[in-house]
Structure 1
Amino acid sequence: MTGADPSGSRVRPGAGVTASRTAGCGGTTADVPGPAPVTADRVGGDLARRATADPLYRLVAYALEAAHGRPPAAVWSAPYAFRLGSPGLVAAAGWPTAAAAAPRTDGLVRLSSLGHPADSCDLPLTLSGPPPVAPAWATRPYAVLRALARAGFGRGGTDLHVQGSLTGAAGLATAEPADCAVALAVADVHTGAGEPPDREQLARLLAGAVPDGDDGLRRAVLFARSGRALLLSAEPRRRQRYVAFDPAASGARLVLVAVRGEATDRSRELARAVACARRAGALSAWPPGQRPGRSVLVLLPEARLAAVRAAVAEDFRDRGRPVPRFLNIAVAGAARREE
């Protein structure tokens, strides 16, 4: 079977080439066609050529076609997510990760990302045993695809392209939106036409496939509403509950401040940035995730935005430190299929 070897090399089947797969315990081999046909009612490939579509989604659709030779059957966007000061509240940010997927029938997974242009890979989709050797970035989406296949989604394989609008340097968790975008795109391709993927089922699958992730952030990605915060419950099957959280509607701004430089300095530099922001008029600040990171979310009156940015930048510049990044955050809705 085509796959990745320990050296990282890979072989891609070309158009019209069949891949061999060992079948059953008898060790017999059968030739099966590679890509599954993309039916007319599931086509997402024209997204790449639609001038009115969001540039990120056009790019992801085009990148999958360029990397794997055929258009996507589905393109999904999933927002980055963050926690509020209260541990039981989460919300989605208006910055998306996107995933484009097309089904296969030969048990092969082909993964690519513009964030890792030299590390595309072709891997055999196995349901048990050690996973195949893969580039570091691909191990997580492969784990998601494996969990989906065990649940009956995409056992024949998948062509997949993933791309985020932010990097880890921005300070928001990148794994959870990517997990959800991949799961939704692949589940959508393998769900009956007109039937949306079961998000509760996918949340449970992701919790098992990548247990090191933040389940609260994943629920925000899957169930968020624009201008609302999601109230987490100890009983995930309960009806979702929301509270109003729309800084812009009340004349405020929510800004992500991410420090640069060595990891050993981040805690001290973040504390310094928060102190400067508060002196310049910020109302509150808190980390966007459960783990210490490089960023804080700052809530401030809109009229004080320029003053806060200037105060933080001046303090860091005067000390010869890299000026932190500022990123405006809108409270957005949940993951969705891009038509």
Structure 2
Amino acid sequence: MLHVLIGEDDFSVRQALEAIKKSLGDPAALMPNTTVLEGGKVTPEQLRAVCETVPFLADKRLVIVEGLLEKFQPKGKNGKKKSSRQPDPAEACRPIAAVIKNLPHFTELVLLGGGVKAINPLLREISSVAKVKNFPMLKPGELSRWIEQRVASQVKGSRISKQAVDLMVRLVGNDLWTMANEVDKLVLYTAGRSIEEDDVRAVVSHAQEAGIFNMVDAIMESRVSSAQPLLQQLFTQGMEPAYILVMLARQVRIIFQMKEMRGSGRSRSDIQTKLGLTNDFVLRKAWEQADKYSPLRLKEVYHKLLEADVAIKTGKYGSPELVLDILIAELGQRGAVSV
């Protein structure tokens, strides 16, 4: 069976993956029969070998591949190639698509992806034999319902007022990783009574800091439609534009250093320690972003940040907020990889 889980809502993608794991029976039996592969590096031969390995003392083998669909995402405008020297993604994906479409009955293959477009040739090639689920970022109304459902699912009888929901949306935004954590803390804090605005203010004290990381991730992943609302939330909460630029520059440096260390053969754990990334989720996000950026593009982004800093300090556009709006639009328009 082939599962394709894609979308910018990484939390829901991971929840769907956990649901697949639970459906495969005893976790203890599944663990030694689970393989995780990096899509950017795996070859058709490697994928075939893993998928055709008979499970040990179990009915199913689980193979998870992250980033394979993005590997074949067309880079040119409207999906067309920029140069005849570049390989045609539609042709390049066929060998691995042939492996995917001929899975043994005992293998559950899960492809995970982020901003995968409908024109993706590998997705088109395999969609007829796959269970495809797309998880876009939740809109405000959907996010409000998600919060209410999350509260109700934690403890029987738990509830949250509309005012508290609206405040949660304003403070945290649509990053469900942070939102789920904050909701769970609120349920414990209120111990069965209704969650009100004052509870949110008391418990969600670091939500603004979470918001800056969400916004930085959105910018670095060229998700302009997500980054701009998050930026406006930070402005509303009183965050200084200069601090936002500092955090963006920090992420660019992390990605650049990560690419250099990966290129020199350093292990994932060694890189995590060297960069001081104690949170596994933050490490994974930076790792994925490093796959998407060339060193040249990182230097271009860094120069854009310097230009924005100068524009703010000299009052070039009159408003620091406008400078950051322009910066996000420019970075999103160019995307990540520069050849």
If the TM-score is normalised by the length of the shorter chain, which range does it land in?
under 0.3
**More helix per residue:** 2
Name the structure, 1 or 2, with higher relative contact order (CA <8 Å, separation 6+). Answer: 1
The normalised TM-score by structure 2 is 0.23
